[in-house]
Structure 1
Amino acid sequence: MCGIVGIFRHEGQVSAELYEGLLMLQHRGQDSAGMVTFDGVRFQERKDNGLVANIFDKKAIDSLKGSVGIGHVRYPTAGGLSATEAQPFFVNSPLGIYLIHNGNLTNVDELLMGLGGRMMKTTSDSEVLLNVFAEDIAQSITSNPGSDMEKVAFDAATKTMKKVRGAYSVITMINQVGLFAFRDQNGIRPLVIGQRKAVDGSDRDEFCVASEDSAFGPLGFSRVRDVNPGEAILITPDGRLESRQCVNGKISPCIFEYIYLARPDSMLNGISVYEFQLELGRRLAKRIKDRCEDDDWEIDVVVPVPDGSRPSAIEIAQCLDLPYREGLVKNRYVGRTFIMPDQRTRELSVRRKLNAMRSVFNGKKVLLVDDSIVRGTTMSQIVQMCRAAGATKVYLASSAPPVKHPNVYGVDMPSREEFVAHNRDEEGVCDLLGADGLIYQTVEDMLQAGRGMNPQIERFDASCFDGDYVSGDVDDVYLENLSGAGRGKGRKGASAPAR
């Protein structure tokens, strides 16, 4: 999971706006950030490990000249944790191309074999993707000398999409061509287009392409549409928006985006993240009501685990006619524990991140609502906090079904053994977490919630819940190799603290 943004302006410096866009996407990656701008003559680049605000001070922003640029925040799922793995990546030939990528490729070894003499500087699949695309551009130029560079870029993207499997939402800057973006044929990771009138007051159009449309608001862009699965778009140096359906596509977005990854104020693939989370709460409330009747759950108060569970928790409290209380106070200066790169850092961060208010919990039977329970690291400690704050009963409700399978498309949870629900039923998970009761969302209710909001989506990628991978090339051998490669809590360099 990463956040990407590209902005085209007719005049003025784009770096400050890229900075604002990356701040709005910081939730998608906290390991590193990078930015590159283009002034029509040369590229200017800066990238490093750390948060956006720590990497880009005023001096850095002022040094990034140009009216066109791209930016990236990284949560590493492939490659190491070194700053050399930070994006954007660059190749000088042909033309000069910078690339940023959100997703994860599933046929990297095959792609590397086809690259011949091209050498990689990192272990990142994004660098492999860049070199595949660059090689296809070079071949298009060679086989069609004198061809229009726009056609060359679209032809190359078509060739690349026919080779590459997995999840990829990509934004590039190509010298002599423009800002060029494309999305995989399943549309697994989001990519959306924004538009505004030029900041110089003229009637010319300016554009933004980003992982989420929540990045548009502070910059004055209005949402136009999603980039379609299998589509490439080009914003030319003179500000024209061109597009081509390069390969046949059918939208099958990752449903975990709506549960955990995306901001609630984003609209992805025609579905409001916030409305989706409310619907999850309504559906889960019906199951909780049955559990209260069948298993004698007695609930005094509903408390969310901040922040992602709030919409569902609010809806559950309303449906069950129970008081809703903010009983867990969040330290805003601690990062998201799930996307921290190693288990020890996650565990140390939980108690720095949350504190239980005794006035809410003392003497109460509490229903804690979380958006998902993945490793159980956070939840087991929260249950202990609630009891220490005086809760007499602690029941748990997860807005998502149990996570039982690796997500190979850009979320770092590839090893089955890391999941608290691995080889455990609901009762077993409940005992391990130390709760008095546990209820999960069902997979079918979750999928129905999504389909009900956009009937055009016939299939979501819900592979981390049901083991059904939309790219069609993921089997047990692939998953075993992925786990053995050192991803997840076994990732090389994972002892480094998350930033």
Structure 2
Amino acid sequence: MPPAHPFDVDADKLKEECGVYGVLGPKDAANFVALGLHALQHRGQEAGGIVSHDMGEGFNSVRRFGYVRDNFTKASLMETLPGPVAIGHVRYSTAGKKGAAIRDVQPFFGEFSMGGAAIAHNGNLTNAEELRRELIDRGAIFQSSSDTECIIHLMAHSMAKTIPDRMEDALRKVEGACSIVAMTRTKLIGVRDPMGVRPLVLGEIGEGEGWVLSSETCALDIIGARFVREVEPGEMLVISEDGVESRRPFRPKSPKFCIFEHVYFSRPDSILGGRSVYETRRQIGVELAREVPVEADLVCPVPDSGTPAAIGYAAESGIEFGLGITR
């Protein structure tokens, strides 16, 4: 038998990305969410889920393993997700067991005394294990291995009177990166941690027809939504039919946006921090050609995130650009 591999191959892969998306306004909000998740598929191919709310039918949830196109394009399934507010999540394990049970697939839902709420999270809570032990000691019963479930239990232990206020209480106790999209029966909520590690943007559908929260701007384009602005680090947006309320519930911290969003995670047609992801990658190639010139016959990219950098390197160096690897 061949010798055992010296490390876990799966564990050696980047596992820092997920995609979150939420829509408030259109009567079939879940259909918009499905399109948005399709545009964010590069952020998570392991699984996806959508939660919606309809005043007549209440909360409904569908969670599936696999691609969005294989699960959330069937009319019979989407008809089970009615209502004018919905959120969704595409998963690439960042915490919890990779390839675990369907119970690890977000969004997560909780029923509170003032009504239900669902939450989808992109990031890593660095104190999740400590919080989990503390919550279990206080009687919490966890259903998943995900760090995101800690937020639901922290909300359940809060004595605040509204779900947004309970979310504020919960998020003051967590550490690490979190860009969150959540929903109640009538509200869409977006939160970005004080360091702004992961992206989150606000968009508008039509002229006041609805609102969108998304991990990236590319998922606004697919539904024809207009980019309004980025959710700022440490900001909470509470969106209802009355408009957008901005809150600042956290102590300010120095921004620490993850550079790998520009280098690898995000789609090249997205805009992050006012800058095109494609242009950033192309400029990286230009700078590399200036700093590390080489004699070569061809500049060949490793697709897909390496392609803009290779274009920049070829343009600056004068070496021919060509494709040699396909996937």
1:242 to 236, 241, 245: 245
Q: Is the 8 A contact 1:161 1:230 kept in 2?
A: no
SS in structure 2 at match of 1:46: strand
**Counterpart-to-counterpart distance in 2, 1:130 and 1:181:** 15
Match status 1:181 vs 2:190:
yes
Deviations 1:360-406 (A, max 9, x none): xxxxxxxxxxxxxxxxxxxxxxxxxxxxxxxxxxxxxxxxxxxxxxx
- Equivalence for 1:320: 317
What is the aligned counterpart of 1:110 among 97, 112, 130?
130
Contact 1:212 1:262 in 2 (8 A): yes
Aligned position for 2:121: 101
The 5 A counterparts of 1:166-177 are 166-175=176-185
In structure 2, the CA distance between the partners of 1:133 and 1:230, relative to structure 1 (3 Å rule), is farther
> Are 1:43 and 2:63 counterparts?
no
Query: 1:104-253, aligned counterparts within 5 Å?
Result: 104-115=124-135, 116-136=138-158, 139-141=159-161, 152-175=162-185, 178-197=187-206, 203-236=207-240, 238-249=241-252, 250-253=254-257
TM-score (norm 2): 0.88
Tell me the distance in 2 between the aligned counterparts of 1:134 and 1:241. 25
Whole-angstrom CA distance in 1 between matches of 2:237 and 2:175: 19
Match of 1:19 in 2: 34
2:112 corresponds to which letter in structure 1? S
User: Displacement of 1:251 after TM fit?
Assistant: 2.4
Q: Counterparts of 1:251-330 in structure 2 under 5 Å? A: 251-289=255-293, 292=294, 298-330=295-327
Q: Secondary structure at the match of 1:69?
A: strand
The unaligned stretches of length 5 or more in structure 2 are: 1-16
2:187 aligned partner, one-letter code: G
Supply the distance in 2 between the matched residues of 1:34 and 1:299 (Cα, whole angstroms): 47
Is the Cα–Cα contact under 8 Å of residues 201 and 213 in structure 2 kept in the other structure?
yes
Q: Structure 2 CA distance, aligned partners of 1:326 and 1:239?
A: 51
* Cα distance in structure 1, aligned partners of 2:55 and 2:157: 23
Which of the two has higher C-alpha Rg? 1
The partner residue of 2:89 within 60, 72, 91 is 72
More strand by proportion, 1 or 2?
2
1:394 corresponds to: none
The 3-state SS of whatever aligns with 1:163 is coil
Deviation at 1:158, TM superposition (A): 3.2
Residue identity matched to 1:234: V
**Equivalent in 75, 94, 113 of residue 58 of structure 1:** 75
For 2:11, the equivalent position in structure 1 comes to none
Contact in 1 for aligned 2:127/2:175 (Cα 8 Å): yes
Q: Given residue 247 of structure 1, which amino acid in structure 2 is its aligned partner? A: F
Whether contact under 8 Å (1:44, 1:64) holds in the other structure is yes
- Pairwise CA distance, 1:92: 1.4
Give 1:180 shift: 1.3
Q: TM-score, normalised by structure 1?
A: 0.59
Q: Per-residue CA shift, 1:239-269, capped at 9, x if unaligned?
A: 4111101113342111111111000111122
Identity %: 36
Q: Give the distance between the partners of 2:274 and 2:259, measured in 1 at CA.
A: 13
Asked whether 1:29 is paired with 2:44, we answer yes
C-alpha RMSD of matched pairs (Å): 1.6
How far apart are 1:216 and its partner, in Å?
Answer: 0.4
- 5+ residue gaps, structure 1, are 142-151, 198-202, 293-297, 331-499
The structure richer in helix per residue is 1
Change over 3 Å in CA distance of 1:58–1:193 after alignment to 2: same
Q: Is the 8 A contact 1:206 1:239 kept in 2?
A: no
Report the CA distance between 1:113 and its aligned residue.
Answer: 4.1
**How far apart are residue 271 of structure 1 and its match?**
2.5
Q: Equivalent residue of 2:34, what SS?
A: helix
1:14 and 1:304 mapped to 2: Cα distance? 39
